Structure 1
Amino acid sequence: MFDLIPFGRRREDAFGQLVKSFNDVFSDDWFAPFKGNVMSFHTDIRETDKAYLVEAELPGFQKDDIEISYADPYLMIKATRKEDSSIEDSDRHMVRQERRYGEYMRKFYVPDIQDEQISASLKDGILKLEIPKKPNSRVKRIQIRDDM
C-alpha cells in the first residue's frame, strides 16, 4: 500500500540521492581532461617593509629541476620530476620498469617588485626566495573628508 518509511526519513533519502547524483556528475573523473598533470606544493609567504619572503616545500628536487620566472606582475615557480627506474634479472631481461613524471607549479601575483634583484636558495627541500619591493611602492592611506 504505502512505503513504511517515516516522512522525515523519506525526505533525507531524497536529499541524499540528490547529493549523490550531483557528486556523480561533477566527480574528478569528469573533470580529468581539464585538470592536466600540474600539481601544487606548500608555500609560506611573509611580507616585510622591504621585501616578500617566500618559502616553498620541494622535497626531493634538485636546483636544476626548479624553474623560477617573473613576467610582470606574476612570479612562477615550477618544479619538474622525471624518474626512470628499471630492474633486470641476471640474463638482462626486463623484470620491472617504472617511470614517473610530474610537474608542480605555483603562480603568485606580486606587482611593484625589483625583479632583477630576486634571490633564491634551495636547502633541505626548502626553496627560499627574497623578492625586494620597489622603494616607492609603499601604500599610502587616504583620509576621507567630512565636508560633503
Structure 2
Amino acid sequence: MFDLVPFGRRREDAWGPLAKAFNDVFNDDFFTSMRPQMLSFKTDVRETDQAYLLEAELPGFRKEDIDIDYAAPYLTIRAVHQEDGSVEDNHQQLVHKERRYVEYVRRFYVQDIDEDSIRASLKDGLLKLEVPKRQSTKSKRIKIQD
C-alpha cells in the first residue's frame, strides 16, 4: 500500500530543521508580492448619477490591442500585446530573436447600464470609458379605487 505521508513532509522528517530552513529560504516565491501588479493594470472607477467612469492605465498598447466587451452584467477589458523582434546577419543566420506576449484582462460587475452608449478613448496610454447608466423609469402611484 502507498504511504499517505506527503513527500515534502518525509523530507523534513529525514533532514529535520535543516530541511525546513532550506525550504523556507528557497521555496519562498520572491515575486509573490509583485504578481498582482504584473498580471493586471491599474484602473480607477468613479460613479456619477448618470454614468460609471473608468480610467485604465495601459501604456504601450494601441487601440487595436484593446478589446472592450459587455455581456450582462460584466464589462470586460482585454489588452493583448505581441512583439516578435529578430536581428539577422548577412548570411541569414539567426543571431538574436525574442518573442513577447502580454495579455491583461479585467472584469467589472456593472448592471443597469445603457450598453449601446458606452464610449471609449485612448490617449497617452490612458483608456477612458464612459458607461452610462440606464435611465430609471419614474415610479407611478396607483390609488385603490374600490
1:27, distance to aligned residue in structure 2 (A) = 5.4
TM-score (norm 2): 0.68
Aligned ranges 1:21-32 → 2 under 5 Å = 24=27
Cα distance change on mapping 1:123 and 1:137 into 2, 3 Å: farther
Ranges in structure 1 where 5+ consecutive residues have no aligned partner: 1-13, 30-37, 139-148
Output the amino acid matched with 1:79: A
Q: Does 1:85 align with 2:99?
A: no
Output the amino acid matched with 1:136: S
Q: Which residue is equivalent to 2:42?
A: 42
Aligned ranges 1:1-148 → 2 under 5 Å = 24=27, 39-136=39-136
Output the amino acid matched with 1:98: E
1:39, distance to aligned residue in structure 2 (A) = 2.2
Q: Which residue is equivalent to 2:10?
A: none
1:89, distance to aligned residue in structure 2 (A) = 1.4
Q: How many residues align?
A: 113
1:33-56 per-residue CA deviation (whole Å, 9 max, x = no partner) reads xxxxx9210001111110000000
TM-score (norm 1): 0.67
Output the amino acid matched with 2:39: M
1:93, distance to aligned residue in structure 2 (A) = 1.3
Paired with 2:100 and 2:79, the residues of 1 have a C-alpha distance of: 14
Identity %: 54
1:90, distance to aligned residue in structure 2 (A) = 2.3
Ranges in structure 2 where 5+ consecutive residues have no aligned partner: 1-16, 32-37, 139-146
Output the amino acid matched with 1:45: V
Once structures 1 and 2 are overlaid, which stretch shifts more, 65-74 or 84-93? Answer: 84-93
